Amino acid sequence: KLNWLSAYDEAFRQLDAEFDLSQSDLSALIRMVKSNNGKLSANKRKQYYYLPESVIARIEEVVRESFPEATGGSVDAADADSP
């Protein structure tokens, strides 16, 4: 869990500095992108229709960088420490 929180905090700080989004939207977007293997689903993109594609792409990029396992599937805290 500590690794997840550190990665989340890193992504949140970076994106909060780059974009003027509400904290609740930014938090939700990070969690949705993380849970969907580093991509925001088409359905969720419709929910955030007011965000330019470039902003969504940057959020996806930062989440993938902050959570390297995001593109490789879900990793729980116990697996994160395994070699």
CA dihedral 35, 8, 15, 56 (to 10 degrees): 0
This prediction has a pTM of 0.80
pLDDT in tens, 9-34: 999 999 999 999 999 999 999 999 99
HEC string for the chain = CHHHHHHHHHHHHHHHHHCCCCHHHHHHHHHHHHHCCCCCCHHHHHHCCCCCHHHHHHHHHHHHHHCHHHHHCCCCHHHHCCC
Q: Summarize pLDDT for 48-73 with one digit per residue, the tens.
A: 999 999 999 999 999 999 998 755 54
